[in-house]
Amino acid sequence: MFQPTKMFVLAFMCDPAWANRFGALIVIVGVVFAFSDIPDALLVSGEKWQKARAEFMFRAIVESMEDERHESLSNAELKELRRKFDAITGGDYELDAKQAKHRFLFVGVVIVCVGTFMHGLGDWLVGAIKQASCWT
């Protein structure tokens, strides 16, 4: 199994070039993130989850009001309550799901940037840390 700490131990103990190899693996993971269908799946499942959560909240409000009044709400009252609920919650579930997708893509970009940095400068960075800490 892939363990990042072992890669850094190899870079510090054996050969600093292992840091470059580790950076290349990080870039591969970032590229897989960028080209996978996970962000689109997050968008779809996030929107469904938001709708289900809002519906659960609406049902809880209705049940609470009915328990308090000891009778069921009429259709007109339900429609008015639904209108007010949608006005308060915004009813825009796609926006929250898009934010999750954008966060996921941002993490993918950060992973690629860190991996590229490690791939290009990993051996130099390990050498500089070794020299600064007098670790030979």
Which letter does DSSP use for residue 36 in this model?
A: S
DSSP annotation of 73:
P
Q: Categorize the per-residue pLDDT at 64 as very low, low, confident or very high, splitting at 50, 70 and 90.
A: confident
For 81-105, how does the pLDDT look when each residue is reduced to its tens digit (9 = 90+)? 888 887 877 656 566 667 777 777 7
Are the C-beta atoms of 38 and 132 separated by less than 8 Å? no
Q: Are 111 and 29 in contact (CB under 8 A)?
A: yes
Residues 6 or more apart whose Cβ sits within 8 Å of residue 50:
93, 96, 97
Average pLDDT over residues 1-23: 70
Report domain extents, the chain. Answer: 18-132
User: Could you tell me the pTM of the whole model?
Assistant: 0.53
Outline where 36-92 has alpha helix (H). Answer: 38-69, 75-89
Is 20 in contact with 122 (CB distance < 8 Å)?
yes
Average pLDDT for the chain: 77
Under 8 Å between Cβ of 97 and 104 = no
